[in-house]
Structure 1
Amino acid sequence: MSSHLATNLPVGWSSTTLGQVSECILGGTPSTEVRQFWGGDVPWMASGDVHLRRITDVPGRITALGLRSSNATLTSPPAVAVGLAGQGKTRGTVALTLCTLSTNQSIALLKANGSDLRTDYLFHNLDRRYEELRARSSGGGRGGLSKAILEAVPIELPPLGEQQKVAQILDTIDTAIHETETIVTKLKAIKQGLLHDLLTRGIAANGELRPPQAEAPHLYKESPLGWIPKEWDIKQLAELLGDVDPAMRSGPFGSALLKQELVETGLPLLGIDNVHTERFVADYTRFVTPRKFTQLARYAVRPDDLMITIMGTVGRCCLVPEDIGQALSSKHTWTISLNQQAYSPYLAMLQVNYSPWVLGHFARDQQGGTMAAIRSETLRSTRLPAPPREEQRLMEERLRELSKRIDLEVDSLAKRHSEKAGLMDDLLTGRVRVTPLLAEAAQQQGSA
């Protein structure tokens, strides 16, 4: 290895470039006009596959003839796949290939030489350097990486044994992150299924879900939303509004609130950036004075109001939190105060976000092109199933319990990502050496 030592390297580390310690293999795409090149048994990795991170297979397939007729190269594992092009997140993203495959021309495969650099260590090293790789791209925002650029990327290397231990530690936390992501995905799917069951079958007097209509047709009746329990009604949103004026509002508009009237501190003016799916984000960037708030009091939000985005990403919905205090809604959202004695705001919020009857209703009546909007009449005519209020309470209770489990796993996932970022900064720079960490762990195990 040709080593040009950097200053302040940890003891035992060396500095070099990727071209000195790895092989860079470029890919290619067979002609899409030749049917005989496609649909074979040769794995062929497309650019988007780099987001799989650890690749044991890819959906793309070419034939042996397609491989021979293009610049694609069949490469054995392990290798680090690097996205070379793209304005999105693909350029600079890396993945670890764990199967033999070929790639298109927008992916490079880096194979470590094994004597100075381990491929698993290289994967973690470049994963940490995503922004750096993008900055090294040629051609600015629309540019890309190339073989020459990658081969010139500097890399600081600990001894092979230390590389192995660092990779093992980071692999372990990657596994924990993947397992937590899987749990979150499964819980969200369970919640979607439970939401559908509760909003079509509800909870019987015995505390259990009613049997499906196909099994107990005598328990159901037809409605504009399909089969619903006989005890239920169908209500339009206009029938469920609270006794406040106005119960449904968007604005202020025009001269009612001028841009120059916004202040650096004061009472929050809420917008689409505060309204996420099921989640209110209390990150306030726009404020009005108390005097202006009083003038625009008709646009004030209340705890458990529904807020729905009507510009940009249309239809995101959340509830206003209990501790909101004084705040105004804006012209980019609808804010709706329901009669909470008649209908659960929480169930209404979930239906706006997920239920096919609400989403279909919105889709049929959207306005505009790229900036769609939702009309007042569209909202007012939105139909919702209306179980007895006590049954709604039980439904909400079950859904909130599951949501809390999801939130706990999401928080755990965020902590694991934070822990990983800290470990990468420490271990991949040599700021913390893995050898003392292992010695400390061994000592703790011995004293246990």
Structure 2
Amino acid sequence: MFGTVRPNLRSHGYVPEQPVGELVASTGFSVIRPRDGISDGKYLFFSILGHEVYAQSVNAAVGSNYPAVNDRDVRQFRIFAPPLEEQKKIAQILDSLDTQIRRTEALIAKLERIKQGLLTDLLTRGIDQNGQLRPAPDQAPHLYKDSPLGRIPKSWHTRSLGETLRLQRGFDITVASQTAGDYPVVSSSGITSYHNQYMVKGPGVVTGRKGKLGLTHYIESNFWPHDTSLWVKDFHGNNKKFAVILLDSLRLGRFDAATSVPTLNRNFVHPLLVSVPPVDEQNRIVEMKARLDARTAKERRKCERLRTLRTGLMDDLLTGRVRVTPLLGEAQQRKV
């Protein structure tokens, strides 16, 4: 099915030969059916996703707000049409890559869910000296004590955020006044530029004050915190990477003090009560999170490589620049 409205979005779809139940196609789609003995449905699907058909559809689209093509335009699109067996082999190769990409994306989503659940446990139960999560309070009540925030591990303390991490407003600087250099200028959304001067020695932690709230950034080098940000001026001896975890958990965006442009007032959040583990336990929490982050990052890199490979193969196989005829010959020999 070819999405005819805004074809640049490539909102196309593939319907298998035996779909579950009856289907009705919207008028925003052009239905493409393979011809028996001539074309393969999956190959046609990959072809309409390819760059060649994309370019033709964009050129044929009419309209400014809702550019669209019609059925006649779709029928006139030109594609590379190798023999049917070669089409099937190309479709098989690309379909296999799509399956790997979907599985990797599902694993990344699962790891993110695990991380969110783990962070909740780490900030309420913590890690014992053996590197294991403590049992929950109902399973081991002797390991916990009462606090204004509920039951917390006995070695933890309840303090205000200001007593734990002292936030300070950043320093104003315009793009015009900057000179290219090595020191990152960190705004509410992260690093936006590099300047030849810094205001804070790294490593440090920055969170959004104005514009984009709730994002926390760990900066390894010396840096210039922008006026749209808040930076941690005093960590009070706490692990700096644990500070990122703690600030993220507070969802500071909910304390927006403005009406039009989101703004965070540090005086509103400094009185917040937080439960804080000892520094040695903070270190263990940071290490556990880092291991999970590394696993997720590895899968993201793998997924990006697969997407890059898929794009390259589509460009080669769907244009005939690279043929799979040798693979077909090998398959025939194996059958014999």
Q: TM-score, normalised by structure 2?
A: 0.84
The structural deviation recorded for 1:338 is 4.5
Q: What is the CA distance between 1:238 and its match in structure 2?
A: 1.7
Matching of residues 61-80 of structure 1 within 5 Å:
none
Q: Which residue of 2 aligns with 1:119?
A: 41
The structure 2 residue matched to 1:402, chosen from 289, 292, 304, is 292
AA matched with 2:228: H
| Residue in structure 1 matched with residue 31 of structure 2 by the alignment | 109
Larger deviation: 305-314 or 228-237?
305-314
Q: CA deviation at 1:425?
A: 1.2
8 Å contact kept, 1:92–1:134? no
1:108-187 to 2 correspondence within 5 Å? Answer: 108-129=30-51, 132=55, 133-134=57-58, 136-187=60-111
- CA distance 1:259–1:438, shift in 2 (3 Å): same
Please report the TM-score for the alignment, with normalisation by the length of structure 1: 0.65
Give the letter for the 2:28 counterpart: S
127 and 398 in structure 1: CA distance in 2 versus 1, 3 angstrom threshold: same
Q: Check if 1:308 corresponds to 2:207.
A: yes
* 1:105–1:268 CA distance, 2 compared to 1 (3 A): farther
Q: Supply the RMSD in Å over aligned alpha carbons.
A: 3.0
Other-structure match for 1:227 = 151
Please give the per-residue CA displacement for 1:21-67, whole angstroms capped at 9, x wherever unaligned: xxxxxxxxxxxxxxxxxxxxxxxxxxxxxxxxxxxxxxxxxxxxxxx
Aligned match of 1:426 in 312, 316, 327?
316
Find the aligned partners of 1:114 and 1:314 in 2 and give their Cα distance.
57
Match of 2:325 among 431, 435, 442: 435
Q: Determine if the alignment matches structure 1 residue 347 to structure 2 residue 242.
A: yes
- In the alignment, the residues of structure 2 paired with residue 424 and residue 308 of structure 1 have an alpha-carbon distance, to the nearest angstrom, of 42
The alignment covers a number of residue pairs equal to 328
Higher RCO (CA 8 Å, separation ≥ 6 residues): 2
Indicate the residue corresponding to 1:216 in structure 2.
Answer: 140
Unaligned runs of 5+ in 2: none
Partners in 2 of 1:140 and 1:347 — Cα distance?
50
The range that moved more, 230-239 or 184-193, is 230-239
Counterparts of residues 28-43 of structure 1 (less than 5 Å): none
CA distance in 1, matches of 2:327, 2:160: 63
Report the alpha carbon displacement of residue 312 of structure 1 after superposing the two structures with TM. Answer: 4.1
> 1:260 maps to which residue?
176
Show structure 1 runs of 5+ residues with no match.
1-80, 276-280
Counterpart-to-counterpart distance in 1, 2:54 and 2:183? 34
Matched, 1:330 2:248: no
State the Cα deviation string for residues 73-99 of structure 1 (Å, max 9, x = none).
xxxxxxxx333436xx99422222232
| Equivalent residue runs for 1:82-93 within 5 Å | 82-85=2-5, 91-93=9-11
Identity of aligned residues (%): 29
Check whether the contact 2:162–2:271 (CA below 8 A) recurs between aligned residues: yes
Alpha-carbon displacement from aligned partner over 1:136-189 (angstroms, at most 9, x marks no partner): 432125333433333332222122111111100001111111111121111111
